[in-house]
Amino acid sequence: MKNIVEIKKFKMQFGRKTVIKDLSFEVREGEIFGFLGSNGSGKTTTVRTLLGLYQPTSGELLIAGKKFDPEDTSVVVGYLPEERGLYRKESVIDTMVYFGELKGLRNAREWSLKYLKRVGLLDKADERVEKLSGGQQQKIQLGITIMNNPKLLILDEPTKGFDPVNRRLLMDIIDEEHKKGCAIIMITHYMDEVERLCDRAILLKDGVARAYGEIKAIRKEFGGKSLDQIFIDVYGEAENE
Amino acid sequence: MNKPILKVTKFEIIRQLKKPSFWVAVLAMPVLIGIGLIISVVASAPQEATTISDDTKIAITDEAGIIPKDNPFALYATKDEGIEAVKENQVDLYYYIPADFTETKKVEAYRIQNGLGLFDQQTEALKGILAGYVEKEVTDLETLALTGGYAIEDIKFTSDGEISNAMGKAIVPAVFVIAFFIFVCVFGNRMLMTVVEEKENRVSEMILTAVSSKHLIIGKILALLALGMIQILALFVPLVIFMIANSGNEMMSAIMSMIVIDPVTLIICVALFIFSILLFAGFCTYIGAITPTAKDAAQFIGPIIIGVVLPLYFMQLMLSGEVNGLVEFLTYFPFSAPIALMGRVAVGSISTTGLIIGIVELAVLSVVVVRATVVSFQKNAINFSVALPKFLKKG
């Protein structure tokens, strides 16, 4: 299987602080990849650098063999960032259509209305975004992320703050994208989600990979423990040190 | 044109047009500008407009016979001699008092045009001079001279000796100055906010995976330029329609016939206007790009606008055509350069070389500042809290 993401010898420094020491991994086409690590371990920094929002100190970060270009429609990437927001004063439909058009979606309005119906927000289409609840706004953001059939979805804590019903809905949508052949990088602290959904994963600590590979292989490496326990063990080392 | 830029521009224009605040500004601004200009003109009008300095060389042809032989002025036998003396800079001010003065009640004053001369009423000083030579109101001539009940027709020449139409030539550049001033007042704050809002709303991370920062910023600037044009049209279209509709009116007809549309001046003004707007937009969007929130950005708009409109505080000096250190500073200081340059084109007090330097300065700076904005926005797009350089932070 071909790689859609390749990160080679990635190093990132902010001033004197080294956030990523030496990181290399790949994400394969069509797989769901878990990107794990505690807060501040460098996951979001890695993703932002992959998407060109930061410049790496050294190393190579490629999507489909090249540096990410937001306007290159040959590789559509959907990104749901950790820091989320929308144009608060604009209507839901105008916001979605704007992003859809930027992403090259031809029938952005139709697609958006269909999506809003699917997530139960059709009656909110003409409402200002600021009138929506946090959960409703997250659904809009997810819609924007999956517009135009992305080949790669990067979801930074997608289910954070969702109630169980909406979490289920969200996971269904993510699953649909996966079935269409989309590769998904999922940054999450929910280890049960990773064990249930992900094919492979990487666990980041102190700017280096502490575990990387297929979920089964990682568990085997750590004596058959659950991912939850592995996470606690790896980060427990730091506490003990 | 690049499609992402057009999409950003379209979105930004439509969302602004939907806002009632935009239309309030569009409609209220012409009224406010008018009031401001009237106040400015009244406040700038000199208090002693009818005095002449001691070193002013005055010449007179007095066919009416009011002025006695022993006077401090140069006397010319004919009007042609007097006019020639003015053209050759031998005298600063020449009065022609015709033989039929008591019937026409009119004196002609000739001099070289200096600046726009908007508030210049030096020629009126003749009334004091003539009154000084009359002791009693006995004849019609003496009565007229003493009461000042006559008009002084002010005729000015260019330095080339042609009849000057400085006011008519200044109208086109003045229109551009007013248009730029409106743009600054209405869109300054909007320009800051349009860039900072992506960060404040936490949209920047998502938007920068859909469009490059370069295209986003250029798209936003183009949208603001288009909105600025709407604002300017809202002011000038009704004015032009009013003028055309009343072209039969004698006064309106005189004003319209006075307007000089010189192609070279027009091209210069358009170039200055475009680069000025780009530079101003660049400054504002740059501040938006380096500040994390609208509140942080807002504190910069005041100083920027003061810098831009600074030449208007020295309007009398700019209109006088005088060139000194202050005028030169205002002409080439990046913030004040747009209005100062356009103002000096209006008055005709800038050399071709000086103008070329000014236009090149605006063009180069606008490109540099817009480029810096793109880089800064990309760099600070996801710095939601700490983006301001230390020296710009409060406390």
Q: Are B100 and B150 in contact (CB under 8 A)?
A: no
Residues pairing with A204 in the sheet: A37, A209
Task: Test B202 with A84 for CB contact under 8 angstroms.
Answer: yes
Cα(B44)–Cα(A192) distance, integer angstroms: 76
Task: Test B382 with A86 for CB contact under 8 angstroms.
Answer: no
User: Which amino acid is it at B179?
Assistant: A
Complex ipTM value: 0.87
* Spacing of C-alpha A28 from chain mean position: 14
User: Looking at CA atoms only, how far is residue A67 from chain B in angstroms?
Assistant: 12
- At residue A180, the 3 state secondary structure works out as coil
Q: Establish, for the pair of chains A and B, how many residue pairs have beta carbons separated by less than 8 Å.
A: 68
Look at residue B395 and tell me whether its pLDDT is greater than 60: no
| Residue A8 vs residue A188, higher pLDDT | A8
Q: Are B278 and B370 in contact (CB under 8 A)?
A: yes
pLDDT tens digits, one per residue of B310-338 = 888 887 777 777 778 888 899 999 889 99
Cα(A27)–Cα(A70) distance, integer angstroms: 19
pLDDT at A136: 87
What does pTM read for this prediction? 0.76
Residue of A nearest to B10 (CA): A98
Residue of B nearest to A100 (CA): B210
Tokens of B231: 């604002």
pLDDT tens digits, one per residue of B234-291 = 878 887 888 888 877 777 777 777 777 888 888 999 999 989 988 988 888 888 888 8
pLDDT tens digits, one per residue of A149-196 = 899 999 988 887 777 877 888 888 888 889 999 999 999 888 888 888
- Lowest pLDDT segment from A68-72, A195-199, B227-231, B318-322: B318-322
List the one residue out of B172, B180, B179, B186 whose CA is nearest residue B235.
Answer: B179
Of B11, B201, B378, the CB nearest to A85: B201
- Lowest pLDDT segment from A31-35, A89-93, B388-392: B388-392
Of B210, B381, B382, the CB nearest to A99: B210
pLDDT at B85: 86
| Residue A215 vs residue B256, higher pLDDT | A215
Q: Which residues of A touch B219 (CB under 8 A)?
A: none
Residue of B nearest to A97 (CA): B11
Tokens of B271: 């170039």
Residue B60 phi/psi, 5-degree rounding, is -140, 145
Residue of A nearest to B199 (CA): A85
Q: Which domains does chain A have, with CATH numbers?
A: 3-16+32-86+151-240 (3.40.50.300)
Cα(A119)–Cα(A162) distance, integer angstroms: 13
Task: Name the interface residues of A facing B (CB cutoff 8 Å).
Answer: 48, 51-53, 68-71, 77-81, 83-90, 94, 98-99, 101-103, 141, 144-145
Task: Test B11 with A71 for CB contact under 8 angstroms.
Answer: no
Task: Test A70 with B205 for CB contact under 8 angstroms.
Answer: no
> Judging by beta carbons within 10 Å of its beta carbon (0-12, 13-18, 19+), is residue A19 exposed, middle or buried?
buried
Look at residue B171 and tell me whether its pLDDT is greater than 70: yes
Block residue for tokens 């749901």? A80
Look at residue A46 and tell me whether its pLDDT is greater than 90: yes
Residues 6 or more apart whose CB falls under 8 angstroms from that of A158 comprise A80, A142, A170, A174, A186, A188
Burial pattern B178-200, b for ≥16 Cβ within 10 A else e, equals: bbbbbbbbbbbbbbbbbbbbbbb
Task: Test B208 with A51 for CB contact under 8 angstroms.
Answer: yes
pLDDT at A53: 87
Tokens of B347: 């008055």
pLDDT at B49: 46
User: Which amino acid is it at A200?
Assistant: R
Q: Tell me what the mean pLDDT of segment A139-151 comes to.
A: 90
